[in-house]
Amino acid sequence: MGTRPNQNNRHRSAALRRREDSSPLTGLLPGSSEDGDGSRPLQELIQWFDDQKARNHIMQKRMELNGLHDWRLDEQGYFSHRQGKFFSIVGIRVTSPFREVRTWSQPILTNVGTGIIGLLVGKRGGTLHALMQAKADAGNRTMVQLAPTVQFTPGNYIDNETLKKPFLFDEFMSPARFALLQESRQSEEGGRFYKEDHVHRVLMLREGDEFSLPEEYRWMSLDQIRFFLHLGETVNFCARSILACLL
């Protein structure tokens, strides 16, 4: 009688070890070696990402729409930016016999143009890597997330002296320096965005083409990206969307 709890504990421990050994994170956890294929060690990337979160301090608070600087109701009754850039909030009335209710009205976001979600990939040590960035956005719960190489709407930056163009903006606008590997148009979620889509563009780094990176960028192997994907909301939706194009 007295030995049964210990036997049960041993059985539970053995079962737990079997589950851990079968985990998709096995071999990718901190402490494992990931630099045999030309990658930075995984531990170094984890520390870099923690440092990026620590250095990006964003203070925000919710406020009424009529108190926003440069945003107002335009002559069409849409809530938009005074320069006509970024996005607008418009109203739509919907009728459909195939939904929970037959008709309804709602606000919805409409963008100024088609956006570009871009990923630069290249061979490092014979293994495919992707150039990822640590991107801070005010609406993120964790502020900083792993993002693809670029994500932007061109119309926001053209003829706009107040916004600095993102890294590799021109290279993804008109691919020439890098080889075009894959391109497709993917639609946004239609319950919140009105007929919006993005160009998903995957470019390949040509052999011998090297350049310095801003501090918020790092090359990562696909196995390393997979590790971060298992950490909940660490990888943003744009990165998840374009990574699916590699499948």
Pinpoint the residues of the chain covered by CATH 3.90.79.40.
113-246
Q: Are 130 and 220 in contact (CB under 8 A)?
A: yes
Q: Report, as an integer, the average pLDDT of 223-233.
A: 94
Q: Looking at residue 37, what is its pLDDT?
A: 56
Give, in order, the Cα–Cα distances in Å from 247 to each of 27, 154, 222, 241: 22, 27, 11, 11
Give the pair of three-digit tokens for residue 23.
Answer: 């985990």
Of 192, 194, 195, 202, the C-alpha closest to 238 is 202
Return the biggest CA–CA distance within the chain. Answer: 83
pLDDT tens digits for range 47-106: 999 999 999 988 888 999 989 999 999 999 999 999 888 999 999 999 999 989 999 999
Nearest to 132 by CA among 244, 243, 246, 247: 243
Residue-wise pLDDT for 172-226, tens only, equals: 999 899 999 999 999 888 889 999 999 999 999 998 898 999 999 999 999 999 9
From residue 41, give the alpha-carbon distance in Å to each of 66, 84, 220: 49, 45, 10
* Token couple for 135: 């991107």
Contact 176, 148 (CB under 8 A): no
Angle formed at CA 139 by CA 137 and CA 145, multiple of 5 degrees? 45
Question: What are the pLDDT digits (tens) for 125-164?
Answer: 899 999 999 999 988 888 999 999 999 999 888 878 788 9
Please say if the pLDDT value at position 121 is more than 90.
yes
SS3 labels along the chain: CCCHHHHHHHHHHHHHHHHHHCCCCCCCCCCCCCCCCCCCCHHHHHHHHHHHHHHCCCCCCCCCHHHCCCEEECCCCCEEECCCCCEEEEEEEEECCCCCCCEEEEEEEEECCCEEEEEEEEEECCEEEEEEEEEECCCCCCCEEEECCEEECHHHCCCCCCCCCCCCHHHHHCCCCCEEEEEEEEECCCCCECCCEEEEEEEECCCCCCCCCCCCEEEEEHHHHHHHHCCHHHECHHHHHHHHHHC
* CATH of the domain spanning 113-246: 3.90.79.40
CA separation for the pair 118, 201 (Å, rounded) = 5
